[in-house]
Structure formats: structure tokens, C-alpha cells
Amino acid sequence: MSLDGTRAHATASGALPPLVADAVRAAERLGFGYSCRPEHGRLLQALAAGATRIGETGTGCGVGLAWLASGMRPGAVAVSVERDPVRAAAAAEVFAEQDDVTVIRSDWTAIADHAPYDLLVLDGGGQGKGDGLPADPERLLRPGGVLVVDDFTPSRTWPPLHDGRPDEARLHWLTHPALHTVELPLAPDLAVLLGTRRFPPTKPGP
């Protein structure tokens, strides 16, 4: 989730997908400003087209989930977890007619109940920022599955810095042994990390 992400949709270029517009209105009604930004949403929409099972932590009012659902192909499903009961209810209402989308009111760790995923978006818990424990990609992703961690500023140094110190959360994902991870700038002040789960080593033949 990004600061002023909800408001950014009001000035986004191009028409918003109908589900995204519905979720933005829900966020505005609740005064929830921390939705994903449109730049990130368009990336989620594109990534969703290549997945059959999608997970998300931190539904908020459903803006990021709406971008995902707008890109899903027939037969794909998405599960999103939100701990705040008011926001979870608002998001569930947005997707009330979407049988392929489920919003669960719970702590982010409940996302593991529906794993493994082809695409997992850590938009709330599981990012490893602050005191929170990072999600386990080997438990939550299929081999070849994609992990998305948002809400970074583009790094200009190595190691990447946060408040003048090495950015431990970003380094955790960039150097994770189970992932091939890259940083993708989406705007001058916005970047995401994309990690693909490595395939197990091929066993030698007899």
C-alpha cells in the first residue's frame, strides 16, 4: 500500500477498470488513503494474466485486488486477507459478484491456508518490514511462482539504503536463496521487488 495511493487514482491517465473504480470509491467512503498506486495496479493486472492461483496480503478496501481481478483469465482464482474488519467487509462487498475472488478477514498468515500460489502479492503483512516476520516463499509459492513486494523507493546504491542504513527488508528479498529477485522502478519515487521461486535442483540420472 502506498501513501495517497487512493487519491492517485483520481488523476490516473486512462479509464480505470470497473472493479478498480468500485474499490476506489469504497476506499474514499472509508477515508482509506493507502491503496496501491495506479502504476503498481497496472503491473498487478499484467502479472495476474499469467497466474491461475493468486494470493494477496493486506486487501485494504480492495483496490490492488481489483487490479488483479481485472487481469485474471477464466478459471483463475484469487484469495486476499485483511485484518481490519471494516475494510474487509468493504472489500468483500466490492467483490460480492465475483465467485473467483475471496476476501478473508484475518491476520496475514491465513494466506498460507490456501497456498501454494502462482502469484503472491505482499501488500500488507509478510513483507518483513519493521518487526514483522517475512513470508516464506518456499511454503507459499509453487516453483516458478512470482512474489511481489511493493512500496519501495528506487535504490541508487548497493547495498540499498533506508534512512541512511542498509535496507534490511529489501536485502532480504534481493538475496533470498529461494528466489531470483529484481527491483523494478515504476515511477521516480516508486519501485517493487519481483521474485521468482527457483526450481529445485535437477537430480542426476542413474
- Residue range 155-172, pLDDT digits in tens: 999 999 888 899 999 999
Q: Phi and psi dihedrals of 29, rounded to 5?
A: -60, -35
- CA-to-CA separations, 186 to 120, 146, 162, 167, in angstroms, rounded: 19, 17, 18, 19
DSSP 14: S
**How does DSSP classify residue 36?**
P
* Predicted local confidence at residue 28, as pLDDT: 96
Residue 206 has a pLDDT of 67
Could you read off the pLDDT of 43-93 as tens digits, one per residue?
Answer: 999 999 999 999 999 999 999 999 999 999 999 999 999 999 999 999 999
User: Which pLDDT score, from 0 to 100, does residue 11 have?
Assistant: 83
CATH of domain 5-197: 3.40.50.150
- Mean residue pLDDT of the chain comes to 94
Q: What is the pLDDT of residue 53?
A: 98
- pTM of the predicted model over 0.85: yes
Integer Cα distance of 137 and 131 in angstroms:
18
| 205 confidence band (pLDDT: 50, 70, 90) | low
Cα dist from 53 to 21, 49, 86, 123, whole Å:
23, 11, 26, 16
Neighbours of 7 (CB within 10 A): 14
Mean pLDDT of 30-51: 96
Lowest mean pLDDT among 12-16, 42-46, 92-96: 12-16
What amino acid is encoded at 206 in this protein? P
